[in-house]
Amino acid sequence: MPLDLYNTLTRRKERFEPMSPDRVGMYVCGPTVYDTAHIGNARPVVVFDLLFRLLQRLYPAVTYVRNITDVDDKIIDRSRDSGEPIEALTKRTADLYHADMDALNALRPTIEPRATHHISHMVALIGLLIERGHAYAAEGHVLFSVPSMAEYGQLSRRTLDELIAGARVEVAPYKRDSSDFVLWKPSADDQPGWDSPWGRGRPGWHIECSAMAKEHLGVTFDIHGGGLDLIFPHHENEIAQSRCAHDGEPLARYWVHNGFVTVEGEKMSKSLGNFFTVHELLDEFPGEAIRLTLMSAHYRQPLDFTREGLKQSKATLDRWYQALRGDPAPAAAELPFDVLAALEDDLNSPLAISHLHELASAVNKAGEAEKAAAKGALRAAGDALGLLQQDPEAWFRWAPKGAAALSDADIQQRIDDRLAARKAKNYAEADRIRKELADQGILLEDGPQGTTWKRA
């Protein structure tokens, strides 16, 4: 069946039809690299990774662009407060971001442009907007004139009157209208800056994405994604800039947005003690458990992220990996139809996950002749969701960081000691070893192929 996606621009679910039948272009707003990614930052990464994986199954070529914002006032402020040079700060934070998202089994985007590598494209785009009467220079700044675009507000469904009513009391004196937004701003001597026709300065946030999307995907492309919080003003302003610079041509044909994340029922906040970074959570839980938790609610719905939910996801993955253990090994298999159909219905990940439960049950019930095929179907379904990517034995040997865990060699030695005790019919000693390991979180399972183990 064809792919349907909910389009924020039209507020309805639509049949996805790419501009080219054999190529799809998708742009997703990426991180501003000044701090460690929190769980709210991770949700769009997982959501659009899921979409990227699906698109790759459906189309011969997919270009997935996700930018890195490496020039921003937050970066400047963090560098000033910490004393860490901006280049070092952005490199360290970007590297950590990549490592954390890799741990969630998120594929790297096809192209990952950096804002600082596209300054000339931004300057050219701003020049076009001034030339066409949609922007103006004032006191070293360049601003987009919102009243110059009659259709402004279509994505967020906000009218110009609403924008004026919601404007701050104090408006910068160089603005012609309170709703106008910055395309270029002047830089002090101790701030990053580039030469431009309007003086040394740096770009506004919104123009960065418009310029990078145009450079790598063209004037109009298929899908633009991000979190709900970006609809206004960021995505609304991207549309305004891009359409006004390019004779009204649309920026993207489908706008896809994921819902918000709360933690334990409340908005995430450091003051509430419920602010979790991905890096911290990876010390306590496997990345796949975090990924499964982030997919447990439909991407457009709010997601309440809890430790109990993480524990449940870990237990679910334990069950699925247990079904894949041992002989016979999984056979190559096509993605089961029910899983594909769920994903093609606006990325219905909860329904797809329910089918994985069914597939795991089918493995456990299968006879030896059918078991390899059943395992293959489960593995193929996992691949579509970016799950079940490990060898089952490696999965069960994972331990939280800092845990006083026995080494694999120590565990194997105790298993050998237990086997020797059983051969000597010293069953009390064999039971003692089993209990001792269980008390340390190591569970033994005896089977036809010998004894296997896993961490509880």
Residue 14 among known ligand-binding residues? no
Contacts 24+ apart (CB under 8 A), 73-78: 74/32, 74/34, 74/35, 75/32, 75/33, 75/34, 76/191, 76/192, 78/34, 78/35
Torsion of CA 131, 136, 138, 144, to 10 degrees: -140
C-alpha 27/C-alpha 381 separation (Å) is 26
Is 98 marked as a binding-site residue?
Answer: no
Q: How far is Cα 71 from Cα 211, in angstroms, rounded to an integer?
A: 14
Q: Is 209 labeled as ligand-binding?
A: yes
244 is in an annotated binding site: no
Q: Which of 304, 289, 261, 299 is nearest to 395 (CA)?
A: 289
Identify any residues that bridge with 455 across adjacent strands, giving them in sequence order: 442
Q: What is the Cα–Cα distance from 66 to 69, expressed in whole angstroms? A: 10
Which of 323, 332, 453 is CA-nearest to residue 393? 453
What DSSP string describes 102-113?
Answer: HHTTPPPPSB--
Neighbours of 96 (CB within 10 A): 17
Annotated binding-site residues for ATP read: 270
Known binding residues for Zn(2+) are 29, 209, 234, 238
- Residues at the binding site are 29, 209, 234, 238, 270
